[in-house]
Every structure is written in C-alpha cells, then in structure tokens.
Chain A
Amino acid sequence: MGLRGTPLLVLLAVAAVGLLAGTLWLWPVLARRGAAVIALRIGLLVALQASVLGVVFVSVNRTYGFYASWSDLLGTDHMVAQVVAARPSVTRAAASDLASPLVSLASSPVVVPGARRGQGGRLEEVRFTGPVSGIAVTGHVYLPPGYSPASRPLPVIVVISRQAGSGAASYGAQRVAAVAAAQIRAGRMSPAIVAVLSPAVAGRADQGCLDSPGGPQAGTFFSQDLPQTLTLAYHAATGPSGWAVLGGAGGGYCALQLATAPSGQFGVAAAAPGTYMLPPGRGETGGSPGLRSQDSLLWRLRHWPPPPVRILFAGPGQARHFISLVRPPMTVATIGPAAGPLPLAPVLDWIGHALAGRP
C-alpha cells in the first residue's frame, strides 16, 4: 500500500473512527480493577492516538509531498544515479548566444597637442553584445597611453551621452577621448579606461538605462553586461570602487540611476545639469506601480539605504532636492555652472581623484 495512496488514508481513517467508537463503547467494560484491564485501556488509547496521528501524517505528506514511498520514509532506499550532460539544443541557438561580447571594429590614436604621436593613447570603436541582455550596440573605448594587459588593472569611466556617436560634440567620443588624454598627460587625472556609449542602446528611445519588464534589458546591459565585458576584454579594475559613470548630454538620469541601483557596479557618478526626477521617455513599466515608484531617484533615496557612492553635480541648481536627501556613506559634491553643458576636463579630474580614493 503506497505511502501517498488513497487506500492507506482510508484505512487509517476507518481504523481511527472504529477505534474511537470501540473505546467509547467498551469504556464501562474496562472500568473494572485489574492489571490486565489497565493494560487494555492503555493499548486502546495508544492505538487510537496512533491511527489519528497516522491520518494527520499521511494527509500532510500527500499535501506537501515530503516522502514518496515507504523506502523513502524509512531511508532504506540507497539508489543513486549518474550526472548526465544534457545534449545542447543547437538548433535553438540564436546568433546573439555565440556572439563575442566585444568586437573591436577600428582603432585610432588620440592626438594630444604638444605631444608626440602615440602618447595620447588609443580610441577603439567596438561592438558590445551583452551576454545577459542580448543588447548589441556600438560604442567607443579609450585606452590611455601605456595601457597594457600586463600592467596593473585600470579604473573605468563609463560615459553615457546622447552625443556619443557625434565625434566633435562636447560629449562625443572623440572629444571625451581627447580631453581625457590631455588631462592624463598633464598629470591632472590618473590613467583610466573610458567607454563612451549612447543611453539609447535598446534600439529605440532612451529608456533611462532601465529594464523594460519582459522587454529590452537596458538596465542589465549597463549594470552587468558592460562591466563584465570590459573586465574580460581589457585589464580593468573589478568592484564598484574602480568604476565611475558619467552622465553627459542626456545621460544624467542614467548615471544617477545606475549609481543608486541595488545591483550597482559603480562607486562614483557625475551628472550633467537636469532635474533627474524621472527617466526620460520611459514608456513601459509593464503597468507596475512598484517599478514606476522605484524609477524615481528621490523615492530610492527615501526607501533604500544610501549606497557607498560619491556623486558630482554641476551646481546644486535643479539637484537641490536630490542633494537634501543624501546621507552618508553617500556623498555629493558640486562643480561649475548650474546650467549649460558640464565642463568635461574638471569633471574628469574629479572622477579620477574619486576613483583613486582621494577626497
């Protein structure tokens, strides 16, 4: 009779009812004196208790499925099996599965005025393919002079800017690389790897570098795929203390959002002027009020513990509300004008200092 079968349960239930009726019925008969009678009382009570307990145990076991069989319950089953490798379903493999996470498309030297060729580092155009998000996007990676896989790991600055692709714009890849090279050469900034990307990675409008539920996983791309990919491809620092995010033109919300996310990989963030209240152009939260509320940076500061990040704003201006909610270990600093584009050189200097752990 199976441990989980109905017959056992029925048998136990019938036994319990029968024993109960029998006990009540035979009670007067067993009221006499004598050791044998007392033994009978005890026997009857124990049998009744045991049958009721049996009903309870079998029903609980049927509901939760703890034990499959008698041998399982008694521990007499010692059969084991082998670990078998599953045959991978290659037919289902998609192109993005096997794509290399980072492909270098082009590489050019960065020229610093007054320096010899080759002393400004290199700017590579690369194709990222996120191993988790599947998002594929083209961006730029600046490698400082003297970068070599053999040297010590370098900190990384991720620049998120709508102008990423338009070279000479104030937050375009070429200009960011040129300014970084100049600052490093002048000794005002410690060498760092700089990646420049557009916030609109998911093939459509800027979603604030957030995941769309069941849709494009831009948040996963920036917070996990990008750090992992850069770490594997270059000799980059691991851990938030070596990673900064700089929100240039239109990337301010992204930078602050990524720095305050619980899964955050960034220990330093700088943001261009803006209100930072809600993500730009965020359409889809999958109808979830919970996701919508945690999109708000102010909500995060009120409800989540302050993360150990250092943040730089361009002038207090519109960020005053944000700054008023900052508590340690989070710290804020402000720089330059409260309006207009964030001046790149001093911001890079500040980030370089923050990454080096200096005040």
Chain B
Amino acid sequence: MGLTSGTLLLVAIAAAAGSLVAIVWAWPRLARRRPAHLAARLAAIAVSQLLVIAVFLIWLNSYFSFYASWSQLPGASAGTRPAVLQRAGAVASLVTVYGSRPGPAPGRSRLAPLADGAGTLPREAAESAPATAGRLQQVVIRGERTGLSSGPGYVYLPPQYFQPAYARTRFPVVLAVTGYPGLAGGIIHRLALPEVAARLIASGRVRPTVYVMLTVSPLFPADTECTDVPGGPQVASFLAQDVPRAVERTFRVTASPAGWGALGYSTGGYCAVKLAMMYPDRFSAAVSMAGYYQGVRGHPVPGLWGGSIGYWHENSPSWRLRHLPAPPVSVLVTSSRVGDESLPGTLAFLREIRPPMRGYSLIIPDGGHNFRTWNRELTPCLKWLSHRLS
C-alpha cells in the first residue's frame, strides 16, 4: 500500500474510528476498579491514540508532498542508491513523458489532486485543444553526462506553445525546484505554480513561459543540496547543465541564459541562487523563497562537501560574493518579518550583493515556512522573473 495512496489514508482513518467505537462499546467491561482493568483502559486509549496520530502523519506527509514511498523515509535501507543509473549507450530520449493533461484554465476549478509516481497523469490521449489550456506533462529527465534521473517531474507548456502565431517562438524557461524533503507534486498542488502561472499568462502580466518542476534531490532521500558531491553524484551539474540541455532538445525553448530562470523555496531557494551564481552561462535570474545562503554544515549526508572547507565555501552564495567576482545575474530573495528564521540570513546576503549582480527582495510582514506563504509570494515572483527573462 503506497505511502501517498488514498487507500492507506482511508484504512488508517477506518482503523482509528473503529478503535474509538470499540472503546465506547467495550467500556462497561473495563469498568472494575482493579489494576488489570486500569491497565487495559490505558492500553486501549494508547492504541487508539497512536492510530489517530498515524492518520495525522499520513495526511501531513501527503499534504506537504514530503515522501513518495516507504523506502524513502529516513532510516529506510534504500538510502544509498548508486550515482550512475544509466551506463549503456545512451540513444534513448533524455526526457520521457509519462502522462499529459490539459493545463489549468483560469476561471475553471482547481486541478484535481494527483499522486506522485510515474504514470499518474493519463497517457498522451487525443487531447482537447491544448491551444486554449496549455498542457501539463509528467516527465522524467535523464542526465546525459551525470547519469542522474530527475524522478517524477512536471513540465507546464502554456497555451501559446500550441498556437500557430507562436509556432516559431522559442519560449523562456523557469526551472522550479522543491525544498528538502519534497516531491515535485508539491509545486503543482501546494504551491499551485501552474495555476498561478496560467492566470498571469492569460491576463498578460507574465510572458508565455515554459515551467519545468523538479524535486531538488534526484537521489531522494539523500539530501544532496544540489551539489556536485566530490566522488559522488554530480547534482549541481545535473540541474544546471544536463536538465537545461535535455529540455532544450525536447521543447521549443530558448538556449540562451537570458531566457532561463530558476525558482525554489527553502532548500530549493538556496539551490536556485547557488546554481544561478555558479552557472550564469545557464541562468540569468533566480528566485529564492525563504532560502539560505550558506551551505549546511554538520549534515547527515556524509561527504557532501568532500571533507573540504574550501569546497563548502564555494557552495555558499555568501562566501562566493565575498571572494569571487559578482556574477551577471539577478536574484529575488523573499522572507517574512515574523515567522521565518530565514530573515537575518536573507538580509545579510542582500547586503553583500554588488554589480553586476542585482538583488531584489520581497519581505512580507507575516508568514511561516510553508506553502501558503510561498503561494502568496508567487505572483510577484513570477512577474519579476518574467521581466528579467527574454
């Protein structure tokens, strides 16, 4: 039974409700003032309580799109997958489309929920007019040079992509990455990026753009912090070189860095800014929502920085600004005055920015480290990106 399947949640709810009914029904049988009965009452309440908490945690996991399967949970044995997934001659396409459906149309009802895992979108069917609704595709992107695989990800193609007037247009691209832990589905359902983008594109406030939505950790549950791990998986190269190259070959998008932006929240925010600063030959703008600007230390991932302080420094946007040339990119950093611990680091990073790099901030008065906050910030962020990408 899948961790994010509706069945599991229903079974858990049934078990919790059943346990409550059973206690109410068996109540009189445990009513003697004897230690054994007292212990039995306590045990009954404890079992029922654990079932209720299980329901809560299962719901929480699927609401926030943290983990897709049992094996991904921390402590599961599948933690160390090999970095190389594909060794044989690579002739196959780098982008595999597993499903496709019309994109969100403004004014229509919300997108129906969609579980993570390959094949959950309907396979490409005779589709109704993508020229009006665009298309949301579920894809897996394979890295030609790093051998990594993106896991289930999504590509949103705006309606214009299918319109004759745009048949020769190469579209700008935004690469959106999740936080850690996080599945790409979180960007669709919780952040609601395709919906917000569709609305903004329809009203002309955002230029037609292709959005590529991926988890920040292709080797999930390993937390690789979008880093070329020394002697390990080359995740920075995957996200910043392999993915753009594969997307360029598959979709009608621009190859110029001027048309490529990155966006992310939490760990994804750190990654968006870090990758833009390390690869300005790929990205010209980045949005970091509640991100951080120093590589994490004391991390559970062994060898993330290869045991080298210098390598950790290189992977810290703040350090890069102090010790390397400022790259020709624009960044928008967001945080909130109350409710998010990212504020001091964000303001400190902002102060370090100098030409030719450009810094922008969006600081809201109140908002925690959650999708509701980021969803509120998304409209100005997408508009900002649209102004910077050509």
Contacts and interface: CB of A to CB of B under 8 A. Distances in A.
Given A81-B363, A291-B311, A307-B144, A66 B325 contact: no
A52 B308 contact: no
B231 A71 contact: no
B377 A80 contact: yes
A42 interface: yes
Given A48-B45, A79-B365, A90-B355, A290 B310 contact: no
B358 A69 contact: no
Interface string B224-252: 00001111101011101110010000000
A88 B358 contact: yes
Given A72-B370, A97-B325, 4 more contacts: A65-B340, A72-B367, A285-B308, A289-B230
B33 A28 contact: yes
B238 A262 contact: yes
A45 interface: yes
Given A81-B362, A132-B327, A65 B368 contact: yes
B96 to A, nearest CB: 16
Give the size category of B's interface with A: 35 or more
Interface stretch (A181-189, A191-199, A212-220): A212-220
A262 B234 contact: yes
B306 A289 contact: yes
A64 B351 CA distance: 27
A133 B361 contact: no
Contacts of B167: none
Contacts of A45: 20, 23-24, 45, 48
B49 interface: yes
21 contacts: A27-B41, A49-B20, A65-B339, A65-B340, A72-B366, A72-B373, A80-B376, A93-B326, A93-B355, A98-B355, A132-B278, A132-B327, A134-B325, A214-B310, A214-B314, A224-B281, A290-B232, A290-B307, A293-B230, A304-B234, A327-B87
B306 A24 contact: no
Give me the 4 closest cross-chain CB pairs, A-B, nearest first: A68-B339, A214-B310, A290-B230, A290-B231
A211 B143 CA distance: 22
Interface string B331-367: 0100010111100000000111111111111111111
B368 A287 contact: no
Interface in A42-93: 42, 45-46, 48-49, 52-53, 56-57, 60, 64-69, 71-72, 75, 77-86, 88-90, 92-93
Given A291-B306, A327-B87, A67 B366 contact: no
Interface in A165-202: none
A217 B168 CA distance: 39
Interface string B185-206: 0000000000000000000000
